[in-house]
């Protein structure tokens, strides 16, 4: 399992601190699976980019909180997105714009959507480790601000 056992609690704390305008610290929240790590490294090697030396995933949360809060998502929604996007079954999505993992299974988001959560990874700021930069609930045509959960 990519997420550590206590990571959702730690992530929640970071997001709550950020929501209050306080400073959060970078935390280790999990590990890429060997399949995810190998897929990313294969793609990076083919693109002439340095490979990932460490599959550990770090998290701060500022960008994720700002982006998802702007869409009306709660911290609990963000935690569900993170858990889904970083699931062991999530697959590497090769793209020139970002490095991402996408959960192939649809998740009911509580707002009338079936979403495929995407984890956007930052691979250079905290080298040699990976940082979860953001999540994107692909298919969220009905935003939380448009409905009551």
Chain segment 41-54, per-residue pLDDT in tens? 999 999 998 999 99
Q: How far apart are CA 4 and CA 105, in angstroms?
A: 21
Number of domains in the chain: 1
Residue 122's nearest CA partner among 73, 66, 62 is 62
Kindly state whether residue 29 falls inside one of the protein's structural domains: yes
| 146 located within any domain | no
pTM (two decimals): 0.94
In a domain, 145, yes or no: no
For residue range 46-77, what is the model confidence (pLDDT) as tens digits?
999 899 999 999 999 999 999 999 999 999 99
Is 74 inside any structural domain?
Answer: yes
Q: Residue 20 has what pLDDT?
A: 98
User: What integer pLDDT is reported at residue 147 of this predicted model?
Assistant: 64
C-alpha closest to that of 15 among 56, 72, 66, 57: 66
101 domain-assigned: yes
- Note down the domain range covering 49: 7-140
Question: Does residue 1 lie within any of the structural domains?
Answer: no
Contacts of 22 (CB under 8 A, 6+ apart): none
**Is residue 39 situated within a structural domain?**
yes
Which ranges in the chain belong to alpha helices (H)?
7-19, 34-46, 62-70, 75-85
Residue 2 lies in a domain: no
Q: Which two tokens stand for residue 67?
A: 């982006």
């Amino acid at each position: 399992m990519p997420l550590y056992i206590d990571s959702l609690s730690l992530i929640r704390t970071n997001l709550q601190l950020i929501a209050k305008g306080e400073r959060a610290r970078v935390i280790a929240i999990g590990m890429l699976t060997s399949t995810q790590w190998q897929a990313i490294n294969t793609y990076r090697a083919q693109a002439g980019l340095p490979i990932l030396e460490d599959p550990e995933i770090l998290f701060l949360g500022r960008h994720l909180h700002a982006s998802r809060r702007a869409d009306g998502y709660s911290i609990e929604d963000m935690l569900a997105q993170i858990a889904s996007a970083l699931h062991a079954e999530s697959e590497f999505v090769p793209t020139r714009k970002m490095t991402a993992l996408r959960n192939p299974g649809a998740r009911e988001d509580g707002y009338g959507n079936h979403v495929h959560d995407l984890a956007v990874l930052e691979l250079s700021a905290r080298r040699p480790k990976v940082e979860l930069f953001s999540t994107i609930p692909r298919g969220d045509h009905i935003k939380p601000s448009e409905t009551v959960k």
